[in-house]
A and B are shown apart, each in its own frame.
Chain A
C-alpha cells in the first residue's frame, strides 16, 4: 500500500466515520434515556433532505439558510414524534415503543411517497462542496474535510453541554437511572424532549452531508443511515455516548477495509458481512466496546 493510498484511506475513513459517529450518537441519546430503539430515526434524516430539496425547488435561499432550515426541520420532527406518539406510551414495554417507532417510520415514508413522489429527487448543493482538493497527494472532495471539522465542533459542543450545563447533567443522570433522577427533581418531559431534539438535530446535520455525494433523496432514503446507526451503536455500546462515537469510526474503518480487501465476487454481500459482525458482537460482547451503566442483556 503506497503512502497516498494509505492517506486517502485515512481521510475517507475519518470522513465516513464522522457521519456514522453523529448517526450513532443521535440514536443513543434517546436510547440511553428511555430505552427506545427509534426506527423512525432514519426518517428524520430523510425529512432533512426533503427540506433541502423543497427549498431548492421553491425558495432560492442562500445555502447557510437552507442548511439551517433543514437542521431545524429535522430537530422539530424529532420533538414532534416524541410529543405525539412516544409520550402517551412512556413506561410501556420495549416492544410497544419499538412498534410505534416502526409505524411512524412507515407513516413518514408514505407521506412523502404520496406528497412528493416515489422517485428520487435531486438536491442542489453549493458548488464548493464538490471541489476537489489535493493534500499530500490525497485528492478528496472538500466536503469530507468540512464534515470532519463540523463533527469535531459538534462533539465538543455536546460534551460541554453534557458535562457543564444543568440540562446535560440531568440528561446524564436520567440515562443512568431514570427513576432515581426523577426522584431527585429532574423533570422527565424536559429531559426526554431535549434528547429527541438533540437526536433530530444530529440527524439534520447528517442529512446535509449524507446525500451530498449522490445529491438525491427519496422516500426510502432513511433506511440506509438507520441500519448504519444500528451497527455503529451496537459496536460502540448502547449505553454510552463516547461508545457511540467510537462505534461510528470503527464501523467506517471496517466498511472501508472490507471494501478494499473483500474479493469482488463477494462485494454484494458486504452488508451481510457487516451484520454478521453485529450479531457476533452482540453475542460475545453485548455491552459494546465501551461499557455503560449496569445492564442485563443476557438471559442465560
Chain B
C-alpha cells in the first residue's frame, strides 16, 4: 500500500476520523473538568450516542421508522442486568424472580454481550414477517410490537420486577472510559456499515425498492439482517445504560426515550452518520440548557417542567418542514465539505 492510497483512503473517510477526534476531544474535556454532574451528563450522552447510532444504522439506511427498536433496547437492558447481578443481589432486588433465573451469574462484559445477543435473537425470531410490510401498516406493526414488548417488560414481575423499579446495585458498574470507547467503536462500525455490501443493498432498497429488487437485492432479507444488527447495538447500549443508571423500569425504554432519539435523528438528518452525530450534540446540549432553565423558572413560581419537550417538538416540526434532511442535508460532513466552503474564498482571492 503506497502513501497515495493511504492518503486517498484517509480523504474518503475523513468524516469518521473527524467524528472520532471530536468525540475524544469532548471526552478529554469532560475528563479534565472532573465535575461529577457533567461527567454523568457525558456518559449518558455517550450511551445515547450508541442508541442513536444503532437506530441510524437501520432507519437511516432503510428509511423505515422502526418504533420497536427502543423495546429491543429495553430487552438488552434487563437481560444484561439479570445476567450480571449476583444471586444474592437478585434475591434482594427481585424476590419473586424465577429461581433458575436467579442463579445465573456472569462477569459484566459477558453479560453485556449476552444482553445484546439475546435481544438480537428475539428480533431474529419475531421481525422477519414485519420486514415484509411497508407504509402505514409497517409503522403500526412496529408500534404494536413496541407495545407488546413494553407490556411484557412492565408486567412480567417474575423477571423484571413488574412496574416497580429494577435495582441493579448501589454504584454505577460501567465507567467513563468503557462507555466512551464503546461509543467510538460503534460509531466507526455504523459508519463503515453504510459502505458495506449489506449497507449498500439496504440503501438501494430505500431509494428505489423496485429497481433494487430487479437488480437482485432481496429487500426483505437485507432489512431483516440490518434490523437484527441494529437491535444488537441498541441492546448493548441498553445494557450499558442499565449498569449506569442502576435503577429502571420497562418504561425507561419507551416513548420518552424514543422521542429523544427521534429528535436527534430528525434534526441531524437520518441518512448521514455525521449528521446524526451533530444532531445528538445539538439536542443533548439544548436539552441540558433547557433543563437548567426549567427549575430556574419554577423558582419564580412558574411550573415549566415539560418546556424542553415542547421546544424540541417544535424544532422537529420546523426541521421537517424546511430542512427535511436535517442539518446535514443527507450528506456526510468531511474534508470535501470543508473544501466546498473554501472554494468561493479562493476564487475571490
Indicate if the CB atoms of B144 and A102 lie closer than 8 Å.
no
Q: Which of these, A89, A93, A114, A238, contacts B305 with CB under 8 Å?
A: A114
CB distance from B193 to the nearest CB of A (A): 21
Q: Assess whether A62 is interfacial by the CB under 8 Å rule.
A: no
1/0 contact trace for B103-136 toward A, CB 8 Å? Answer: 0000000000000000000000000011111111
Q: A275 with B147: in contact, given A103-B313, A282-B137 (CB under 8 Å)?
A: yes
B contacts with A, residue count (CB < 8 A): 46
Q: Assess whether B262 is interfacial by the CB under 8 Å rule.
A: yes
Report Cα–Cα, A231/B147, bound state, in Å.
12
Indicate if the CB atoms of B324 and A104 lie closer than 8 Å.
no
CB distance from B223 to the nearest CB of A (A): 8
Q: Which of these, B132, B304, B313, contacts A300 with CB under 8 Å?
A: B132
Indicate if the CB atoms of B133 and A286 lie closer than 8 Å.
yes
Q: Which residue of A lies closest to B321 (CB)?
A: A88
Indicate if the CB atoms of A278 and B321 lie closer than 8 Å.
no
Q: For residue A106, which residues in chain B have a CB less than 8 angstroms away from its CB?
A: 259, 309-310, 312-313
Indicate if the CB atoms of B324 and A296 lie closer than 8 Å.
no
Q: Which of these, A114, A283, A295, contacts B304 with CB under 8 Å?
A: A114
CB distance from A247 to the nearest CB of B (A): 13
A contacts with B, residue count (CB < 8 A): 47
Q: Assess whether B37 is interfacial by the CB under 8 Å rule.
A: no
Q: Assess whether A111 is interfacial by the CB under 8 Å rule.
A: yes
Indicate if the CB atoms of A300 and B220 lie closer than 8 Å.
yes
Q: Assess whether B6 is interfacial by the CB under 8 Å rule.
A: no
Report Cα–Cα, A109/B218, bound state, in Å.
41
Indicate if the CB atoms of B133 and A227 lie closer than 8 Å.
no
Q: Assess whether A234 is interfacial by the CB under 8 Å rule.
A: yes
Indicate if the CB atoms of A113 and B137 lie closer than 8 Å.
no
Indicate if the CB atoms of B303 and A114 lie closer than 8 Å.
yes
Q: Assess whether B283 is interfacial by the CB under 8 Å rule.
A: no
Q: For residue B139, which residues in chain A have a CB less than 8 angstroms away from its CB?
A: 37, 94-95, 98
Selecting from B148-156, B165-173, B180-188, B329-337, the interface stretch reads B148-156
Report Cα–Cα, A271/B135, bound state, in Å.
24
Q: Among B130, B148, B152, find the residue whose CB has the most chain A CB atoms closer than 10 A.
A: B148
Q: Assess whether A299 is interfacial by the CB under 8 Å rule.
A: yes
Q: For residue B320, which residues in chain A have a CB less than 8 angstroms away from its CB?
A: 89, 92, 96, 99-100
Report Cα–Cα, A296/B134, bound state, in Å.
8
Indicate if the CB atoms of A85 and B317 lie closer than 8 Å.
yes
Q: Assess whether A164 is interfacial by the CB under 8 Å rule.
A: no
Q: A298 with B314: in contact, given A94-B139, A227-B147, A268-B155 (CB under 8 Å)?
A: no
Report Cα–Cα, A221/B50, bound state, in Å.
32
CB distance from A43 to the nearest CB of B (A): 12
Q: Assess whether A160 is interfacial by the CB under 8 Å rule.
A: no
Q: Assess whether B316 is interfacial by the CB under 8 Å rule.
A: yes
Q: For residue A230, which residues in chain B have a CB less than 8 angstroms away from its CB?
A: 140, 143-144
**Which residues of A33-78 have CB atoms within 8 Å of chain B's CB atoms?**
35, 37
Indicate if the CB atoms of B133 and A276 lie closer than 8 Å.
no
Q: For residue A295, which residues in chain B have a CB less than 8 angstroms away from its CB?
A: 135
Q: Assess whether B87 is interfacial by the CB under 8 Å rule.
A: no
Q: For residue A297, which residues in chain B have a CB less than 8 angstroms away from its CB?
A: 133-135, 137-138
Indicate if the CB atoms of A282 and B136 lie closer than 8 Å.
no
Q: A94 with B136: in contact, given A99-B262, A227-B147 (CB under 8 Å)?
A: yes
Report Cα–Cα, A147/B306, bound state, in Å.
35
Indicate if the CB atoms of A275 and B144 lie closer than 8 Å.
yes
Report Cα–Cα, A282/B130, bound state, in Å.
9
Q: A99 with B65: in contact, given A114-B305, A298-B134 (CB under 8 Å)?
A: yes
Q: Which residue of A lies closest to B156 (CB)?
A: A269
Indicate if the CB atoms of B143 and A299 lie closer than 8 Å.
no
Q: Assess whether A107 is interfacial by the CB under 8 Å rule.
A: yes
Q: For residue B313, which residues in chain A have a CB less than 8 angstroms away from its CB?
A: 103-104, 106-107, 110
Report Cα–Cα, A69/B107, bound state, in Å.
61
Q: A299 with B134: in contact, given A107-B313, A111-B310, A279-B144 (CB under 8 Å)?
A: yes
Q: Which residue of B lies closest to A268 (CB)?
A: B155
Indicate if the CB atoms of B324 and A92 lie closer than 8 Å.
yes
Indicate if the CB atoms of A37 and B134 lie closer than 8 Å.
no
Report Cα–Cα, A106/B209, bound state, in Å.
32
Q: For residue B75, which residues in chain A have a CB less than 8 angstroms away from its CB?
A: none
Indicate if the CB atoms of A94 and B135 lie closer than 8 Å.
yes
Q: Which of these, A98, A114, A296, contacts B306 with CB under 8 Å?
A: A114
Indicate if the CB atoms of A299 and B303 lie closer than 8 Å.
no
CB distance from A98 to the nearest CB of B (A): 6
Q: Assess whether A209 is interfacial by the CB under 8 Å rule.
A: no
1/0 contact trace for A260-300 toward B, CB 8 Å? Answer: 00000000110110011011001100100000000111111
Q: Assess whether B141 is interfacial by the CB under 8 Å rule.
A: yes
Q: For residue B209, which residues in chain A have a CB less than 8 angstroms away from its CB?
A: 299
Q: Assess whether B73 is interfacial by the CB under 8 Å rule.
A: no
Sample (12) of A-B pairs whose CB atoms are under 8 Å apart = A103-B317, A106-B309, A118-B305, A234-B144, A271-B147, A271-B151, A275-B147, A298-B132, A299-B133, A299-B209, A300-B132, A300-B219
For the complex of A and B, the 9 pairs showing the least CB-CB separation, nearest first, are A110-B306, A103-B313, A272-B151, A268-B155, A275-B144, A300-B220, A113-B306, A278-B144, A107-B313
